[in-house]
Amino acid sequence: MTVHIGAEKGQIAETVLMPGDPYRARWAAENFLEGAELVNEVRGMLGFTGTYKGNRVTIQGSGMGMPSISIYANELIRDYGAKTLIRIGSCGGMQPQVKIRDVVIAMTCTTVATPSSTMFRELNYAPCADFGLLEAAVSAARGRDVGVHVGGIYSSDTFYDERPDLNEQMTRHGILGVEMEAAELYTLANRYGVRALGIMTVSDHLQTGEALPSDQREKTFGDMVEIALEAAFA
């Protein structure tokens, strides 16, 4: 057990999917894993371990924002031996070709700052995904009835953003979408020599103002979960 994860040794799989919302973790575990068991509920941040096609998987909520995912990723890697961590969550579209319900697979993450930023001082570190996972996710996404985009995303440290000028520059420079966790996850994975990837469903759009109704999010979320699971064990 750690400060934030109550699982015993051996209860966490080497492959961990990380949605921000702990209730999405429960939904994904119930719908995609066999024999899923609750292994963590400290602070209400639910985690479940089961199997997918015979492979052990943990689905652990990460909370919202880079400081929160940093806590869980650090403990999962250092204390529980996690080797593959895949963020599954939502993002806001930033390009006209990125539509509501599409899936974005993040190759790189742009950010203003992460909890790790002070380590780099003046260096602008560029966190990127594990290529093997990225390649496998793109392959797993082919043939699905969902739009898929691969490229750079923006990991923001604020939800209620008051920097429209910054969003304009992200859009101008080809950023596909904005979310709040992947840059720190990629940084930690690169630091510890493990694999990480971010796969996000587009739930709203910064240009058009469109938003996916809450009652439709879980159904759309399913494509992303299956892509992540297939990529993890490709």
Q: Is residue 8 marked as binding?
A: no
Q: Is residue 203 marked as binding?
A: yes
CA distance linking residue 93 with residue 170, whole number of Å: 11
Q: Is residue 179 marked as binding?
A: yes
Cβ–Cβ contacts within 10 Å for residue 144, how many? 12
CA distance linking residue 195 with residue 189, whole number of Å: 6
102 labelled catalytic: no
Q: Is residue 18 marked as binding?
A: no
Q: Is residue 4 marked as binding?
A: yes
Q: Is residue 37 marked as binding?
A: no
Q: Is residue 145 marked as binding?
A: no
Helix (H/G/I), strand (E/B), else coil: 172: helix
DSSP state of 170: H
CA distance linking residue 69 with residue 54, whole number of Å: 27
Q: Is residue 88 marked as binding?
A: yes
* Cβ neighbours of residue 189 closer than 8 Å, sequence gap 6 or more: 73, 77, 85, 130, 195, 196
Structure tokens at 141: 């996404």
Q: Pick the catalytic residue from 161, 204, 215, 223.
A: 204
Binding residues for a purine D-ribonucleoside, by number, are 4, 179-181, 203-204
Binding residues for phosphate, by number, are 20, 24, 43, 87-90
Binding residues, by number, are 4, 20, 24, 43, 87-90, 179-181, 203-204
Catalytic residue numbers read: 204
